[in-house]
Structure 1
Amino acid sequence: MEIDMVVEDAIGAADHYAELFGAMILSKTDMEKNLNEAILIIAGTEIRLLNENKDYDLFSPNSDMSSAMWISLTVEDIESLYEKALEMGGRSIQPITEYKEINVKNAVFEDKFGHVWVLNQVLV
């Protein structure tokens, strides 16, 4: 399975996600801005980042709408990743919350490209 995400700047987003999540960048194009794309892997999932291109009805999220899709990622250290996400321009939607009854902590943030991420950490 591959996830395709539209962003304003695919090359910049690939570099951002590599720094934030430790994503492995497989490829980046060097074309006109509205035609660029990048492919990366986060947590074993291939993600294709496509530049916003109105001619092809590819629109990146904007802050005036809520997201119909969230990307859920299980991590080992939710505190440091959540803090890093906010330092790198993310916006908190839900702070880190612990659910002892199901042994999980989670948090939700919107990254600087408008995509919503749910971070989960399983408690041992």
Structure 2
Amino acid sequence: MLVFLAGLKDVPKELEDASEIDGASAWQRFRYVIWPLLRPTSFFVVVNSTIGAVTGLQAFDLVYVLTKGGPARATSTVVIYIYEQAFTFNNMGYAAALTTVVVGLLILCTGVMFAVTRGGRFDED
């Protein structure tokens, strides 16, 4: 929400005022003026959310301190699994390989998002 708030503060007030003078309703101002200007911000949020969902990196500290992935691995994430392989079971090579696969998947997902949205611009040309 803070990222969207920052994006909203970046929308030029002159464009909103001009659309209001032209007779646009509040919904039309949002749909045709504000939302297109928030699309790069939306792209940033989607990419970061995807990375967070795939890796579970934002939850690592909470999950590790509270449950260590248990009971029955119910709260385990990819990052917890890699951490356990590396530092609990001393399988450094396997953990490094898993990390490489996860980073590769994230690069692939981000590349697909960039290709689909033309770099986050969402142009309708």
**What TM-score, normalized by structure 1, do the two folds share?**
0.23
More helix as a share of residues: 2
Higher CA-based Rg: 2
More strand as a share of residues: 1
**What TM-score, normalized by structure 2, do the two folds share?**
0.22
